[in-house]
Structure formats: C-alpha cells, structure tokens
Amino acid sequence: MGKNKLQKFDDMDSYPHVFQYPFSTLKTEGFAMKGKWNAEFFRNDNPIVLELGCGKGEYAVGLAGKYPDKNFIGVDIKGARMWTGAKESYQAGMKNIAFLRTHIELITYFFAPGEIAEIWITFPDPQMKKVRKRLTSTRFMSLYREILKPEGIIHLKSDSNFLFTYTCEMVKANRYPVRVQTDDLYHSGLNDDILGIKTFYEQQWLERGLTIKYISFVCEEREQLVEPEVEIEYDNYRSFNRSRRSGRQNSEKEQ
C-alpha cells in the first residue's frame, strides 16, 4: 500500500465522523449505534440520507451543505477516496455528515429498520454481466427496504444507459412509484439545487458529451420482487480508470 494511502487511513482514524468496522467485528460484536444514529451521533431527529458508493463524497458533502435540516452518511469501501470528503467536511466543521467505510452488502448491520429516509446511488459500476452486483438490482432493493422508512426514496444518477434502462425496467416490473425520470438530466428543464452538485466522474462524462440519466422512486414494500425480463444493449465505451464496461469486444480505440 502506498505511503499516501496509509497517511489518509491514519487521518481518517482520527476523524470522529468516520466509522470503519471489519466484518469480523460486526459478526461478533455488531454495531452499537445501529438504530441510534439520530440519538447518539447526530443528536437530532432529522431524516438520514445515505450516499452509497460515495467515492470522494462529493454528493454527501454537497447535500449536507445545502440541507442542514437533514443528516447525510457517505458509504464506500474505498477509504483513500472517502478521505477527500471526510477531510473537507471535518475541516468545515460540518455536524450533519458522517462516513461509513464498509461493503454496501453489509448496510443492514449498521442501520435499523426505518432508520433511513433516502438513498442516493451516484454513478455506480453498471455491472452489465452480474445482475446481483448491480446496486439497483432486486437483491439490493431487498436490503434497502430493510432499512428505509415506509415511503423511503431512492435516487439514481448515472452516465450508463444500460444501468439506467435496467433500473427503469426494474422499477416498472415492481410497480414502484416514480417521482422523476429523465435520460438527459441537464436538458430536462428540472430546476433543482441538487443539479448543481457534480461528482468527479460526472464532470468528465459531461465534458465527454455524454448525457446524465436520473430516476427517483419510492421503494415501497413488496411481498416478492421480480427481475425485469428485458434485453438491454451494453454500453460501448470505457469508463475512466475502470475496466471496459461493455462485455463485447470493441476495436475502436479510445480518443
């Protein structure tokens, strides 16, 4: 591990709003603050909003600054990235934000039923070949439903037409009420302060001429969830600093 990463991990260990728990500890001891985030950490009754796969934490920090009447928690396993948002919010003295370093599959270890009001999923890997790994798959919907309030809201922002289409079809198949849906967010006419927050990757997608997709829906309780039965064309471009998204060979070279 690089010296710079080690320094970042040391920094985060000293931040009171960063929580890092290995799975072995969770299995044996659990997480003492589960169900008590409002009472013991934020010390208020404001709604709690998660940013899953938060990366550098741009959305969590940006939203926390815009909405002091809500509490925000950025969740990611990549500590070196998370350090950016953790440091910025710590130095700014922000009291309505925290960061949780863990795998998203483990979120039910950290939050009690009904403890979360909203979930933001910002530019995740579309996982075109692995349905179970998609953060908007029914597998993850079941996990989210365990911790969301009855009218809990899920937001997805993505550059990926594949993931956006899949998510829209999943929402339709499970009859989730849609609040907003657009395949070109910044030409949709939506007037929302949230649109002013852009992640590191989002800036690059926009500069590249790609459109940003957005859907917001209510994740209601369902007796049984079903995966959409639809074929979706793969994205045919490379992501920045990630492996090729398309499962097909593409002979075109990156510009």
Q: Catalytic amino acids? A: 125
Burial category of 93 from C-beta neighbours within 10 Å (exposed 0-12, middle 13-18, buried 19 and up): exposed
Pairing of strands 178-182, 213-218: antiparallel
Q: Are 212 and 183 in contact (CB under 8 A)?
A: no
Residues near 152 by beta carbon (within 8 Å), at least 6 away in sequence: 116, 117, 118, 119, 144, 145, 218, 219
User: Closest Cα to residue 63, out of 46, 51, 52?
Assistant: 51
CA distance 156 to 162: 13
CA distance 227 to 99: 31
Q: Which H/E stretch holds residue 22?
A: none
Strand ranges, E, within 46-184? 48-52, 71-76, 97-101, 116-122, 148-158, 178-182
Half-sphere exposure in the Cβ direction for 32 (13 Å, CA): 4
Local structure of residue 40 (DSSP, 8 states)? I
